[in-house]
Amino acid sequence: MANPNIVNVTSIYGNTAYVVPSTTSATTNWTYNGTTALTGLTPAAGTVNRVTSIVVSNTTSSAATATVAIANNSTFGSGTAYNIAYQISVPANTTLIVTDKTTSFYVTENQSVGVTSGTASALTYTATFEAIT
């Protein structure tokens, strides 16, 4: 089921995922619950993920650009990417809130979220999301 009806929810699980792009290419290799990989924040079948925040932290002494996009395919590189934030400069040693609870969005099993850093290993992306079934 590509887009489950969330009126009759059976469970909502809160999660936090993170990724530190090691290159300047788009990545979808999110990690959550400590060690579990979640490619593109794409949910399991019959589930929808409500992304409630994405925060970008620059841990270096130089500015770096951040891009966050959602693609219309569970394999990010195989779909068309639609930018949520595009090449926003994140100053040295600061944090950028890309989206929060007031601008949350849903990711279905036919979509994925990818991030790009203008400088390799400079930015940490952290996302909170609810897995809804």
CATH of the domain at 90: 2.60.120
Q: Is residue 66 part of a domain?
A: yes
Question: What would the mean pLDDT of 48-77 be, rounded to a whole number?
Answer: 96
Domain that holds residue 51: 12-132
Q: Is residue 54 part of a domain?
A: yes
* pLDDT on residue 120: 97
Q: Is residue 6 part of a domain?
A: no
Mean pLDDT score of the chain: 94
Q: Is residue 68 part of a domain?
A: yes
Q: Is residue 5 part of a domain?
A: no
Q: Is residue 41 part of a domain?
A: yes
**Total structural domains within the chain:** 1
Residue 112's pLDDT band, with cuts at 50, 70 and 90, is very high
Q: Is residue 117 part of a domain?
A: yes
Could you write out the three-class secondary structure of the chain? CCCCCCCCCCCEEEEEEEECCCCCCCECEEEECCCEEEECCCCCCCCEEEEEEEEEEECCCCCEEEEEEEECCCCHHHCCEEEEEEEEEECCCCEEEEECHHHCEEECCCCEEEEEECCCCCEEEEEEEEEEC
Whole-structure pTM value: 0.92
Residue 80's pLDDT band, with cuts at 50, 70 and 90, is very high
